[in-house]
Structures are given as structure tokens and as C-alpha cells.
Amino acid sequence: MALKIWLNTGLVDEADAKISVFDHGLLYGDGVFEGIRVYNGKVFELEAHIRRLFESARVIRLPIAMPKEELIAAVETTVKANGIEDGYVRLVVTRGIGTLGLNPFVCTDSCLIIIASTIQLYPEELYEKGMRIISATTVRNHPLALPPQVKSLNYLNNILAKIEALDSKAPEAIMYNHEGYVAEATGDNVFLVKNGVVYTPPVEAGSLEGITRAVVIQLARQEGLQIIENNLTRYDLYVCDELFLTGTAAEVIGVVEIDGRIIGEGKPGPITRLLRERFYAYARGKES
């Protein structure tokens, strides 16, 4: 069945959801986006995602024509129109139609796109057995070049690292910043466990301030686990007891090998499994 796409002011048929070849989102990757999950027909952490979208847009001086409350309603309308019970929303704001030049201010109207469909990032087997990953040689964008909190349409930095992973027959890669500290995976945040303590890189290290990351931190603290945001090195990843990634599409997934080094006992550890179970229940409204 063809999807209904929200384009600027309302729903259109998938075949009619088109943007101009002069849109600066296409020409220059000039825009911002959010990936959002839907569980049991409810859009997960929608207000947090909308808040981050507006903050990203403010940083790059991109006006969003629709107020937050109306945008929330538009997302929910799109999800309902496509009958999505468990799925994924891609919310995109581009700079809009401009000229063949970098000047963003010739674009008078931004373009709003909402897609509601389904997604499965990793096969279920990986959640049970854990995944193998590598360290990327591609360095995370310098935070003074582009703040890591901005979820922009220009993902080439992450894509180059993803290519490294796929060339190594691995689904993911860890990206390090210009100082050699762990930043994030190509599409997920990074956590490790050592002696019962959970560690994750600070946003300042070059990681996106993930919505799922924030929920997992909250759930871990509810379980009485100590969470420390601290700079981490490749060495820390090699010698940790558990390693897992979090993200909107990935949710919580364990890592059992990095760069040929086995993590822990070579299977998702007890804290990883606990937090995945807690997140699964929380996301589906089975617990507060």
C-alpha cells in the first residue's frame, strides 16, 4: 500500500511527495532531521525529538514554519494515516528552494517532510547473540566544525565510517574524535560496563545527545546502577566487561567483539540484557 507523506502543509500520496532539485537539502545537505520510533501506535518521546529538532534548526539558523504543537500533531496525523502500530518516523526539515550557491538566505521557505513507515535496523539474531564491530579510521567531525548535537542532513562523516564497517563485514563501527576519545558509532551512542559501573562518552566528545541514550541512562539509574559520563579510549573498549549501543532504530544492542577482541564472555552481558528488557518494556508502555 502506498504511503501518505506529510509535505509542508498536509498529507499527499507517496507518488506526489516531491521536492525541487534546487532544494538546498539536496544540493548541500542543508537541513536537519529526526528519526523517531512508534510503539503500539504511540510516537515514542515525541516532545523530546521535536525539541531537539528545533534546537538543531536554531543552531544552523533554519526557520521551521510550523510551531512545535502543530508539528507534533502533524507527526501523529501521519502515523495514523499510514496505520503504523510499530514503526518509524523520519521527520525532515530542509533549507528549501534556492540557487546554485551556498547562500542559505536566498531560500525563503523551508521544506517539511514527515514519513511514517516500518524499519528493522538489525536482525533479531544480533540482539540475542550480540554484534561484532570495528574501530573506524574516519575521525568524527571536529566539534568546532559542526556541533555534535546538531542532527543535520549531512551524514557523510558517518557514512564513510559505515563503509569501513561494511567493508570489514561488520554492521557497525566506533568513531573516535580528533583527540582519540570514543565519540559514537556511525548511528548509535556507545556504552560500556566495567566492574558493574556503566560508562558513556560525554556529548563534548563528539556524540549526538541521543534520545534513547537519555532514556537508557534514566532506566539504569532506576536500577541503582552508577552512570559515569567520561572520556573513553579504545583501550577502555578492549578491556570492558560489556559493550552495548543505543539508538532510535537499534534500541539497545550488545557488542561481543571489537577489532578482533572478544568482549567479556563473548555474549551480551547481564547489564546489557537488563537494560534492553527495561527499555523494551518502557518503550511499549508496560512500565512507568
Domains identified in the chain and CATH numbers: 4-117 (3.30.470.10), 124-283 (3.20.10.10)
pLDDT tens, per residue, the chain with 288 residues = 789 999 999 999 999 999 999 999 999 999 999 999 999 999 999 999 999 999 999 999 999 999 999 999 999 999 999 999 999 999 999 999 999 999 999 999 999 999 999 987 788 899 999 999 999 999 999 999 999 999 999 999 999 999 999 999 999 999 999 999 999 999 999 999 999 999 999 999 998 899 999 999 999 999 999 999 999 999 999 999 999 999 998 999 999 999 999 999 999 999 999 999 999 999 988 654
227/212 Cα distance (integer angstroms): 15
Q: Which residues, including other chains, have CB under 8 Å from residue 105's CB and lie 6 or more apart?
A: none
Enter the DSSP assignment of 106: G
pTM given for the model: 0.94
Cβ atoms of 130 and 255 closer than 8 Å:
yes
Provide the grid cell at 170: 561488520
Say how many residues make up the chain. Answer: 288
- β partners of residue 5: 12
Active site residues: 151
3-state helix, strand, coil in the chain (%, to 5): 30, 30, 40
Look-up of cell digits 560525554 = 202
Radius of gyration of the chain, Cα coordinates, nearest whole angstrom: 19
* Helix/strand number for the chain, H first, E second: 8, 15
